[in-house]
Amino acid sequence: MDKTIVRRDRVDDSHLPESLHPVIRQIYATRGVKNEQELQLNVKHLLDAKQMLGIERACELLYQALVEQQRVFIIGDFDADGATSTALMMSALSAFGSQHHEFLVPNRFDYGYGLTPEIVNIAAKQGAEVLITVDNGISCIAGVDKAKALGLTVIVTDHHLPGKTLPNADAIVNPNQVGCLFPSKSIAGVGVAFYFMVAMRAYLHERSWFEQQGIQPPNIAQYLDLVALGTVADVVSLDANNRILVEQGLKRIRAGVTRPGIQALIEVAGKNQPSLTAADFGFALGPRINAAGRLDDMAYGINCLLASDLMSARVMAAELDSLNKARREIEQGMQQEAETVMKQLNFTEEALPFGLALYHQQWHQGVIGIVAGRLKEKFHRPSVVFAANETGTELKGSARSIPGLHIRDLLEYIASQHPALIIKFGGHAMAAGLSIAPENFAQFQQYFNEYAQQWLTEEALQGKLYSDGQLDIQVMNLAFAQLLQQSGPWGQNFTEPVFDDDFELVQQRIVGEKHLKMVVQKQGQVFDAIAFNIDIKQWPNSQASKVHLAYRLDINEFRGKRNVQLMVEHLALVS
C-alpha cells in the first residue's frame, strides 16, 4: 500500500537550548522533548528503582535465597528481550556470589509462552526452590499456582500489561501493575530486570553482604549493553528513561566495553562496533538472537550472551547467523504464500478487510510474528498470522497492529463477546499472541475483521509516512549525517528523522533481488540512494527522470571510505 507523506507541522522549540543545531532542535520538539534535562542521557537522570512497586519485597526474597543458598531458576522468554533479561539476571547473580542459579526457557513448540505448569514441573524436578520470571509471568496464573502448590517461592518480573487477575506470586515487579508509580510504563522486560538488580545491589550493600562474602560489589552499569540490546529489539517506546538506558549501553559497546557475545554478534552481522547505532540492535543483532527462539532453542542465544571468551562466542554467533538465514528463507516463503492466500480470497489493496487474519497448515510457528508484521506494513491493516502447534490441536497466532488500534484490547473485547473463541491471549498495544482451536479459525477471522472495522477510524486506515520536511542542501553532508546519528538514540515513538524532496534521477539499477540502487542529484550535488524491497514491475523505470524521495540521511562505509547515502523510505515518480 502506498503511503501518504505527511510533513510534520512546525512547533515551538524555544524551550530547548539555542546551542542545538536548528534542524535538530525542531526534530526534538516535534518528538515531544519537554526540556533540556530530557536531552541529558547520563545515568544520574535515570528513574529511581524504589518507585517500582514490589521491588523491596522481591529483594527480601532473593536475599533470603542467597543467605540460605537456595536453588534459583530464572524462567525466561524466547525472544531477544527475554534472552537479554535472562543473561542479565544470570550475570548479576554470579556477581552477587550466588552458587546455585540456572535458567530455563520454554521451547515455544513444546510448552508455549511463559511460566506454564509444565515448565514449573520441569524446574521442580531439577531442584528449583525459587523461580524468578523475566519478561513473562504477569499472565501466568496457572503456572504460579502450580509453583505455589509445590512450595516454591515465585518472583515475577515483567512489563506486559496485566489482566484482571494477578498471579499469586510472592512478589511482582511490573511497572504496569495497578498502583505502581514508576513513570516509565514502556520499559522492556530487560529494563525491569536491570532495575531489580540495581535495587538488589543496594539491598545487599546495606546488609554488608559483599564484605561478608569477601567479594567486590559489582557495577550494575556493566549490564547496560544487554539492556540497550533488549530494549530496542523489543520495539518498546523510547521515552526519556529508555533513551538513557539505550544510549548508555551503546556508549559502552562503541568504546569496546561489552561482553564477548555481543561483540561476536556485531562481527557476524558485519557491523562497525565504534559506530554502532540503535537501529543495528533492531535489524542486525536482535534478529540473530530471536532466530534461536523462533527455530530452535533460545538457550543458544542466551549462552552466546553469557560466553566468557570471544572464541566460544564467535562459534555460537555463527550458529545464530545460520539460524537467522534459515529463518529469513522460511519467512520469505510464508510471506509469498500469505499474499497468494489473500489473492485467492479476493483481498486486494482496493478491497481489504479491516483486520487481516490468515492461516496455512504448513506455516511455521517461529516466524508468524514477522510475517504478521510484514503484512501489517504492506497493507496497513492489523494482522494476525496463525500456525498449528506440533499436535495440530491448537492454532498459535501472532498479531501486529497499526497506530490507532490497541491489539491486546481488541483481543480482550473479542474474548469477552465470545468467551469460547480464544483459549488464551496477551500482549501490548502493537503486538500480541493468542491461541484458538483450529475449528474456530473462520469464526475468529470474521469477528477480527468486524470488530477491527468498528474500532478503526478512517484516519487510522490511511498509511502515513511522517516527514521532517525538506532538508537544506547545505546540510546534506557527512558532518550533519553524523550529528543526526549522535542526536539519537532513535527508535519506537522517537523516530529517526525522515526528510522528503524532489531529485533528478541520474542512474538506477537493481541490486540483490529487489533493491533499487540510484544516483540522484539536486542543485548540482550528487548522492547515492537505495530503496529496499521495491516493486520490480515498476522499477527500474527508463522513463523516469525525476523522483520524489522520502529518505533518511545515512552514512555508507565501504573500504574505509565514508559517504552520505539516502536510505529511501518512499519513492514516487515526478511527472
- pLDDT for res 144: 97
Report yes or no on 329 lying in a domain. Answer: no
- pLDDT for res 548: 95
Report yes or no on 339 lying in a domain. Answer: no
Residue 375: CATH number of its domain: 3.10.310.30
Mean pLDDT of 218-241: 95
Report yes or no on 520 lying in a domain. Answer: yes
pLDDT-derived band at 349, boundaries 50, 70, 90: low
Final residue belonging to a domain, choices 455, 479, 505: 455
Q: Are residues 200 and 265 in the same domain?
A: yes
Q: Are residues 241 and 143 in the same domain?
A: yes
Q: Is the pLDDT reported for residue 1 higher than 60? A: no
Mean pLDDT of 33-51: 93
Q: Which residues form the domain of 399?
A: 345-455
Distance between CA 165 and CA 146 in Å, rounded? 16
Q: Are residues 282 and 365 in the same domain?
A: no
Please give the model's pTM, rounded to 2 decimal places.
0.89
DSSP count for the chain of H helices, then E strands? 18, 17
Residue 14: CATH number of its domain: 2.40.50.460
pLDDT-derived band at 352, boundaries 50, 70, 90: confident
Distance between CA 179 and CA 185 in Å, rounded? 12
pLDDT-derived band at 254, boundaries 50, 70, 90: very high
Q: Is the pLDDT reported for residue 253 higher than 60? A: yes
pLDDT-derived band at 346, boundaries 50, 70, 90: low
Report for 47-56, 283-292, 334-343, 361-370: range of highest mean pLDDT: 47-56
Report yes or no on 381 lying in a domain. Answer: yes
Q: Are residues 536 and 568 in the same domain?
A: yes
Q: Are residues 491 and 444 in the same domain?
A: no
**Interaxial angle between packed helices 286-295 and 224-233, expressed in degrees from 0 to 180 and rounded to the nearest 10:** 70
Query: Could you tell me the sign of the dihedral formed by the alpha carbons of 292, 298, 301, 307, in that order?
Result: negative
Q: Are residues 33 and 121 in the same domain?
A: no
Mean pLDDT of 270-288: 93
Report yes or no on 330 lying in a domain. Answer: no
pLDDT 10s digits, 301-337: 999 999 999 999 999 999 999 988 888 888 788 778 7
Q: Are residues 125 and 241 in the same domain?
A: yes
The answer for residues whose C-beta is within 8 angstroms of residue 537's C-beta and 6 or more apart is none
Report yes or no on 333 lying in a domain. Answer: no
Final residue belonging to a domain, choices 320, 336, 357: 320
Q: Are residues 303 and 165 in the same domain?
A: yes
Mean pLDDT of 250-275: 95
H or E element at residue 398: strand 395-400
Find residue 464's DSSP bridge partners.
4
Comparing CA positions, the residue from 426, 443, 424, 445 lying closest to residue 435 is: 424
Beta carbons of 39 and 243 less than 8 angstroms apart: no
Q: Which amino acid is at 354?
A: F
Q: Are residues 316 and 365 in the same domain?
A: no
Which bin fits 256, alpha (ψ -120 to 50), beta or left (φ > 0)? left
pLDDT-derived band at 111, boundaries 50, 70, 90: low
Residue that the C-alpha cell 540512494 belongs to: 529
Beta carbons of 294 and 396 less than 8 angstroms apart: no
Radius of gyration in angstroms for the set of CA atoms belonging to the chain, rounded to a whole number:
24
Q: Are residues 292 and 375 in the same domain?
A: no
Residue 85: CATH number of its domain: 3.90.1640.30
Q: Are residues 22 and 55 in the same domain?
A: no
In terms of DSSP H, where are the helices of 68-188? 80-95, 117-125, 141-149
Report yes or no on 327 lying in a domain. Answer: no
Per-residue 3-state assignment (H helix, E strand, C coil) for 441-492: HHHHHHHHHHHHHHHCCCCCCCCEEEECCCCCHHHCCHHHHHHHHHCCCCEC
Beta carbons of 135 and 76 less than 8 angstroms apart: yes
- What the block records as the C-alpha cell of 185 is 510504563
What is the domain count for the chain? 3
Distance between CA 130 and CA 127 in Å, rounded? 9
The answer for residues whose C-beta is within 8 angstroms of residue 474's C-beta and 6 or more apart is none
Report yes or no on 470 lying in a domain. Answer: yes
Q: Are residues 75 and 158 in the same domain?
A: yes
Distance between CA 415 and CA 112 in Å, rounded? 20
